[in-house]
Amino acid sequence: MTTTIQPSEKPKGASGAADLQAPHQPVTAPGAKTSSSTGQLAHRHWRVGLLPLLALLLVVAMIVAGAFGEVPISPAHTAAILLNQTHLFHFPRTWPVTDEVILLQLRLPRVAGAALVGMALAVAGVLFQGLLRNPLADPLLLGTSSGAALGASIAFVVPALFTADWFGFGLIPVLAFIGALLAVALVYWLASRGGHTPVVTLLLAGVAVSAVLTAIQTLIITLNDRLGLQISALYLWLAGGVDVQTWVQVGVIGTLTLLGVFGALLLAPTLDAFALGEEMASHLGLRVERSKLAIVAVAALLVAAAVSISGLVGFVGLVAPHVCRITLGPRHRFLIPAAGLTGAIFVVVADLLARTLASPSEIPLGVVTALVGGPFFLWLLRYAGRRYTW
Amino acid sequence: MVVNAETMQPGRAAKHTDAVVFDAVSFAYAHSPVIYDVSLRVVAGEMVGLLGPNGAGKSTALKLATGVLKPQQGEIRLQGDSLRSLSRAEVARRVAVVPQDFSVQFAYTVRQIVEMGRLPHMGVWGVSRVDDRLAVQAALEATNVSPLADRVFNDLSGGERQRVLIALALAQDAPIILLDEPTAHLDIRHQIEVLDLLRRLNHEHGLTVIAALHDLNLAARYFPRLILFNREIVTDGPPASVLDEAVLSRVYQTPVQVGILRGEEHLSVLPPGYSMAERGEREREPSLAPGTYVHVVAGGGSGELLMRSLADAHIAFSAGPLNAGDSDATLAERLADLCIVEPPYAPVSEQGIASAREHMLNARAVIVCPIPLGHGNIALLQAALAARQAGVPVLLLEPTRNLAASDGQADASAGDDESAFAAIRARDFSGQGMELYRQLLAAGARWVATNAEAVSALSGSQAFL
């Protein structure tokens, strides 16, 4: 039996026609206030237009980031070199060949890596905040950061003969990747009891596992005297910094990230329902525990991919989702791509600053993201986000 | 804006006349049982109010009906199909739930919240199909929340939020809607608004409505069928039969007054006035004054017919101790003037036995039904023996003697006793039951073979009493 809800006041044809003409326009009954709905119409279109705008901004940011560095290349040349690569354009070369090599072989992989790191962390942040229903949730929360750090530390102390090369990745990124995934799996397993995984338990297990893994990592570093000079390298890795040398690496991380973002988009309606509470989500037909596992798995994949090439970059995954929620509203179908693009732009710019501010030496990326992102976020909370309610 | 009118064929609707069926359902949280042996049938298009005190298991029953909780025993069917055979999404397409108020994470607008009702119908990419949008719009309008569509849900008042939650359930387009205290936290205007809305949805759209309610008066007014629930179904029927002063007073454990207010056609339940409360207290006590009532020892259905006979004969009686959930306990709650209730499935407690002993000593007679003689009930037999020795008449109900009697051996004979003893031996799990029966008989307890015999022994002025 199907129940039909049939508002009586409205002629059938009229509403149907209105619907065909303007898909997003709410069908309002005659006599109902229409001012708010037209307002919403404009609002919605503005939101939809924002995604291409953010994508464009990301491209611009990447070109600018490609232009700046120890050897400056003008943004115009950068754009020309890139457009020539498409083989659709043939700008005459008015720049030295070395510029082309520096841009294409050194800088761009790193810029692309930065964009992927930002995108992965921001989307993972959206997933964790939605799942845990907690504004403090951060992608590095459920043991990922300490797992990755432990993995990296192990890589630092392993004898040099174990140096490896998988798709251009050394031992450090591979062990960081594995460490992050294993830590999340451990946390999830510990928090589950009889097929249920309460999110509060998940959070607490994450904190506890992080503490234990960090202690083990500290122990390894302290007990291992062969670390010596490498300790500062490890410290720099922990402070965060995009470390991408080849396009192959970009390809691998890019594939993982895009898979994760695609998975996150599939989970968008689920995340919306989770905002109503798990019980209501279940009433709406969701298999709550399966959904939770899916969300954590996708988020863990994204974080592990990001952490393996960037170390621990804080703040992106916390701030980008909040910024987008303040400006775009909470619906995950828009929030996920918007946060992904915002995170990408943010890290590309932050990485540019990290490379150039104290050139020739480099500031750790994590320092820049916190120094730039923190005040910006506070400003947004204070002035733009007055009505930002959880 | 017809969503599905064409697909609503009468034949299809008629196929599932059962909306929700509970078949001997029991449920316990960890080790504390909440619902015992509930059987219930709600037909499509009914509007049912679920009443009962706090902690009576109303919310649990609703959660069982949606499959959020799984019963330990029994089966629940939605439109004829077992919940076990339905996926979550299939359940959500059949049953929509309006929870007690909840807060929403993030600043979702009303429309966005209502759109989530389409979740069980939509594909992976979210709300997009035309009929999704039409259903959302229809739900907004049916609940009169269209003007609020772009407001942030968390900013709304209680009454508005409740209407939005109902809109969310309507967008789900399920033929059954369950509500958990939809009028809690609302002022009287919004309570009436919400219940009017539910009645309209029930009348105009044929929605099956099942709501847990606290307000007995509003329930009586809006719901043609009420179920008084207290871990089991106490009474089930139209308001006039469910809103019974004695039953409500017992179930809610407070005296109430039921009547028809002047100028009204509906029953009203009121707290008693001060004088009546006092009178109520006085009246309840004297009805169990020493020597005015009969105490029934029953259990497991053994006392059912007897208690009905006693009530029909207007003989005041107390019963117990009985385990909640036992069918005798359910009946005693309705019929007995006092019922000593023990937690379900628990052994009889010291207090229960002490209370029974006291009631037996003060009773004008004790009737022992053919109960299974486990250790708990042995203590009750000992109490009955003590009462007998103190001079209280004791009747031993033993239907097997009736069979013997019909063989022409009307008078108690040795052979007759043997058939009774055989029956007692068969249900004696403690090994002491037989001996106690012998002692009771020796002390002057009397066999009765039928309920009628017991009732006539109690109501007449026989020499026995």
A86 within some domain: no
pLDDT at B384 over 50: yes
Q: What is the pTM of this model?
A: 0.72
Residue A159 to residue B316: CA distance in whole angstroms: 91
Average pLDDT of every residue of chain B: 81
Non-local CB neighbours of A90 within 8 Å, separated by 6+ positions: A84
Which CATH number covers residue A381? 1.10.3470.10
Strand stretches in B193-351, DSSP E: 208-212, 225-229, 233-237, 257-260, 267-270, 294-297, 317-323, 338-342
Query: Phi and psi dihedrals of A196, rounded to 5?
Result: -115, 140
Residue B187 is encoded by which pair of tokens? 């002022």
A380 within some domain: yes
pLDDT at B64 over 80: yes
The pLDDT value given to residue A118 = 95
A32 within some domain: no
The DSSP code for B396 is E
Tens digit of pLDDT for each residue in B325-366? 777 888 888 788 888 888 777 777 888 888 888 888 888 899
A21 within some domain: no
- Interface mutation vs chain A, best among B141, B177, B197, B208, most A CBs within 10 Å: B141
Residue of B nearest to A273 (CA): B116
Torsion sign (Cα): A120, A123, A129, A130: negative
Residues in chain B within 8 Å Cβ distance of A322: none
The DSSP code for B243 is -
The pLDDT value given to residue A11 = 40
Predicted confidence band of residue B282 (pLDDT cuts 50, 70, 90): very low
pLDDT < 50 regions, chain A = 1-43
The pLDDT value given to residue B125 = 56
A54 within some domain: no
Residue B135 is encoded by which pair of tokens? 């259903």
A4 within some domain: no
pLDDT at B5 over 60: no
Cβ distance of B141 and A286 shorter than 8 Å: no
A100 within some domain: yes
Range of the domain at A199: 94-387
Residues in chain A within 8 Å Cβ distance of B122: 269
The residue with greater pLDDT, B273 or A232, is: A232
The pLDDT value given to residue A29 = 37
The pLDDT value given to residue A19 = 37
A199 within some domain: yes
Q: What is the mean pLDDT of residues B188-213?
A: 90
The pLDDT value given to residue A216 = 93
CA end-to-end span of chain A: 38
The pLDDT value given to residue A210 = 92
Shortest Cα distance, chain B CAs vs residue A235, angstroms: 37
The pLDDT value given to residue A87 = 81
The pLDDT value given to residue A79 = 86
pLDDT at B7 over 80: no
Predicted confidence band of residue B401 (pLDDT cuts 50, 70, 90): low
Prediction ipTM score? 0.77
Residue of A nearest to B10 (CA): A1
Picking from B50-54, B99-103, B302-306, which range would have the lowest pLDDT averaged per residue? Answer: B99-103
Out of B119, B133, B139, closest to residue A269 by CB = B119
Cβ distance of B205 and A6 shorter than 8 Å: yes
Residue of A nearest to B155 (CA): A389
The pLDDT value given to residue A339 = 95
* Most confident region among A73-77, B99-103, B137-141 by mean pLDDT: B137-141
Residues 127 through 186 of chain B touching chain A, CB cutoff 8 Å: 127, 130, 133-135, 137-139, 141-142, 146-147, 149-150, 152, 154-155, 170, 172-175
Domains contained in chain A, number: 1
Non-local CB neighbours of B283 within 8 Å, separated by 6+ positions: none
Residue B285 to residue B278: CA distance in whole angstroms: 11
The answer to whether B323 and B349 are in contact (CB under 8 A) is no
Query: Phi and psi dihedrals of A203, rounded to 5?
Result: -60, -50
Q: What is the mean pLDDT of residues B71-93?
A: 90
